[in-house]
Structure 1
Amino acid sequence: MQTLQEFSFSKRFPDLPLISAATAEKYPDLIPLSFGYPARESFDIALLAQSSVMALETQGPESLEYTGGTGTGKVVEWIKQRSLLRSIKTESSNIIVTTGSMQGMDIVTRTLTDPGDEVWIEAPSFFGAIRQFLLAGTKLRTFPIDENGLKVDLVEQALKEARASGEPLPKMFYVMPNYHNPGGINLSLERRKKLAELAYEYNFYILEDDAYVELSFTGKYIPSIYSFGPERVIYLSTFSKIIAPGIRMGWAIAGEHVINKMRMLKSDGSTSVFVQEIISNFLSEIDFDAHVKKLNSIYKMRKDAMVLAIAEYFGDEVSYIVPDGGFFLWLTFHPEIDTSQFFIDSLKKGVNYIDGVHFYTENHQHNHIRLCFTFCDEEQIRRAVKRIAESYFENKKNCSVLKEV
């Protein structure tokens, strides 16, 4: 009989806790307010099916080859034209289609950084990005956000101090300018301009993650950071939130010298050319502006339902900024509250969320939770918020991180 010996795995895996919502599979029939899923009603199944058939009928074998048919070029052209709405003027050679925006983030990180390099991020920030940067062996430094987004004045101060003292400057700054995950806020126009100026002055790249830009409930859009610093910004976005996450397709826009290096690191070659063919057909047949308007109508109603339920069931126990778009609402409890202390009880009551500690890498704040308002309907949202509130009030006396001596 063979003896199974202990194996030494890669040392690159960071020592990070399991995301709480990942334990939800133990509790069937949950109302999920945790991970950011689009509404299933937003999937145009009929048109996607038609587009799939068209891919085979019109492109035939080419759609199944390594390089694909004409759809790959059409998708890039659509991205190029749509980017003009973000004040991004670019060429097709500056665009790379990726397997979701997370692949784009991975390739950018490996292109710009080596292990030990500094990456600066917002606090709180998307936990998926945090893990990506830690897996790459980078050192993270965080900067707070407020109702106008990243506090760029504090970034400028830190850059000046680092330069004066000879400390390392960042190679990259990761920022979510529109409908921040988890904060739900937007980076102001003035701060976008200033951050771009700092990137030139201190010679770092900005990774602009713009996954939620189309999901504006007001119909108003601020120019991208990229538009103020195209030589020092890499722009990411995705079809996951506006068509379907299962297609696994996003894109990156950057200067040609950067995009060429990214192509070298994209070990899978071309992102599924068959799926690109499908999406090309989809985009050519749909009234995309009407499609986005429909999404925003659905999501605004669900956001409003969540805000009303929180006001009713939590009262002044929590504070929050009402988002004008995106997927998420970020609840802040009183400073002494540890939201992980009533997570299991919420699961038992049939609802889950992600506690705020997962969105920090330093100076962890325990008094937040992130709620997704896009996946569940209004009635489910109301019942879910009520259950979380019940769990909170029933466990409130045990939720304090300030223990009596």
Structure 2
Amino acid sequence: MTRRLASFSFAKRVPSTPSIGSTTVTKPDHIHLSFGFAAPHLFPIDQLSVSAAEAVTLHGRKALQYSGSGGPGKILKWIQNRSLVHGINAELNQILVTYGSTQGIDLATRILVDPGDHVWVESPSFFSALQAFRTAEAVITSFPIDEDGVRVDLIENALLEAKRNHKPIPKLVYTMPTYHNPGGVTLSVEKRKRLAELAETYNFYILEDDAYSELNFTGNKYPPLYTLIPERVIYLNTFSKIIGPGLRLGWLIADQHVIDKVRLLNLGGSIGVFTQEILAQLLENFAFQGHVDSLSRHYRKQRDVMAEAIKESFGEHVSFHLPEGGFYIWLRFDDHVNTSEFLQDAANRGVSFVDGKSFFVKPEGYQYARLCFSYVSEEQIVRGVKILADTYFAYLNNPVPS
């Protein structure tokens, strides 16, 4: 007997979630330039195996309880000490472990933003953050980036205009200031200082997503925005890029008012306490700085291979900023090009990328594409970029009818 159920009305605040960048392709020989994944061969598998065994044998009975054993406390202390390397001085009670930095975006949005409140973002911006703001029913305004990060001068002009005309001031400004996803740019020190001053003057929070900051290819140092105005910055980071994304562990640092509000949303107790126990065992005797240096050397070489492949395969047809760190190169084509129109053809030929429109608030950015150099091999990078270029030139010769 076939049941006939009536249609059901789900909550209107839940947005649609289309596939991003052909990420559902599963062919074994497919080249995933769309995946913002860490290189799997760099995961510290042997050390994690030992750490997992120690977590079970030494602390298993307590670590498997709701509150866990000593691991969560050790992780907080490790985060506190590592943050000092980057100039962040935070008390232990100002640090919360999260399910990756993306949960930190969600938590910060939920405590700060009511429906109709204003959130300002970079253009382009991280698509999962945009989804969080849309789910919160925020009014989202975007500001372009240049080679020195977001145009803080345009943010300042918009704030002046809003105050002059009695328009809403943003509750939240979201930024990825260091090795931006997808733009690859880094916010200059001067812009960081000015944005911090604006947050103080106009009384809004900055949500600082610092997920890629450890992957530094140049040695240049940039102060986290948190160090400039800790009372108005919610700082996010993650173990996903530096240990392994499957751990699903990140952290949030903020003033006590924010932390107290976030704790009220934490209905399920502590985050992944047994996973924290394993990670604590790893970090206790792990040459972390050497590990990070190794990651940075590897990803820098991957970046250079991709940059050369782009120049070789595309010539003058694209431009891009060479990132100082992170995972991505952000390609710009001529304005008449729509990368969405050859996305599927590229997938059919064996390579995926993320089309530019996925990173924008408005219907724009069609002339951009994000390529990730972290997940695939050097040979795959060269071959994938060549396939993508062939796809693009075929598109130029046979454009999709508008």
TM-score bracket, normalised by the shorter chain, equals: over 0.9
* TM-aligned CA deviation for residue 16 of structure 1: 6.0
What TM-score, normalized by structure 1, do the two folds share? 0.96
Per-residue deviation, residues 14-57 of structure 1 (Å, max 9, x unmatched): 356442423424x5531100020000111111100100111122
* TM-aligned CA deviation for residue 267 of structure 1: 2.3
In the alignment, which residue of structure 2 is the partner of 1:112? 112
* TM-aligned CA deviation for residue 398 of structure 1: 4.1
Q: Report the AA paired with residue 284 of structure 1.
A: E
In the alignment, which residue of structure 2 is the partner of 1:266? 266
In the alignment, which residue of structure 2 is the partner of 1:325? 325
In the alignment, which residue of structure 2 is the partner of 1:251? 251
Checking the alignment, whether the CA contact within 8 Å between 1:320 and 1:331 is kept in structure 2 is: yes
In the alignment, which residue of structure 2 is the partner of 1:340? 340
Per-residue deviation, residues 50-87 of structure 1 (Å, max 9, x unmatched): 00111122223111111111111110011111111221
In the alignment, which residue of structure 2 is the partner of 1:11? 12
In the alignment, which residue of structure 1 is the partner of 2:359? 359
In the alignment, which residue of structure 2 is the partner of 1:316? 316
Question: d(CA) in 1 for partners of 2:219 and 2:54?
Answer: 33
In the alignment, which residue of structure 1 is the partner of 2:65? 65
In the alignment, which residue of structure 2 is the partner of 1:134? 134
* TM-aligned CA deviation for residue 220 of structure 1: 2.4
Question: d(CA) in 2 for partners of 1:131 and 1:154?
Answer: 23
Q: Report the AA paired with residue 24 of structure 1.
A: V
2:123 equivalent to 1:123: yes
Checking the alignment, whether the CA contact within 8 Å between 1:21 and 1:35 is kept in structure 2 is: no
Per-residue deviation, residues 302-342 of structure 1 (Å, max 9, x unmatched): 11110110000000000000111100000000010001111
Structure 2: state its 5+ residue gaps.
none
Question: d(CA) in 1 for partners of 2:231 and 2:180?
Answer: 23
Report the secondary structure of 2:324's partner residue.
coil
Question: d(CA) in 2 for partners of 1:18 and 1:300?
Answer: 28
Report the secondary structure of 1:22's partner residue.
coil
2:74 equivalent to 1:77: no
What TM-score, normalized by structure 2, do the two folds share? 0.97
- Map 1:86-97 → 2, pairs under 5 A: 86-97=86-97
Checking the alignment, whether the CA contact within 8 Å between 2:23 and 2:352 is kept in structure 1 is: no
* TM-aligned CA deviation for residue 136 of structure 1: 1.3
- Map 1:1-400 → 2, pairs under 5 A: 1=1, 2-14=3-15, 17-25=18-26, 27-362=27-362, 364-399=364-399
Per-residue deviation, residues 335-355 of structure 1 (Å, max 9, x unmatched): 100011111111111110000
Question: d(CA) in 2 for partners of 1:89 and 1:269?
Answer: 26
Q: Report the AA paired with residue 265 of structure 1.
A: L
Moved more, 314-323 or 276-285: 276-285
Cα RMSD, aligned residues only: 1.3
How many positions carry a matched residue from both structures? 401
Structure 1: state its 5+ residue gaps.
none
Per-residue deviation, residues 92-146 of structure 1 (Å, max 9, x unmatched): 0000000111111111100111111101000000111111111111110000000
Checking the alignment, whether the CA contact within 8 Å between 1:338 and 1:399 is kept in structure 2 is: no
Identity %: 49
Checking the alignment, whether the CA contact within 8 Å between 1:107 and 1:266 is kept in structure 2 is: no
Q: Report the AA paired with residue 196 of structure 2.
A: A
Question: d(CA) in 2 for partners of 1:357 and 1:87?
Answer: 35
Question: d(CA) in 2 for partners of 1:3 and 1:278?
Answer: 48
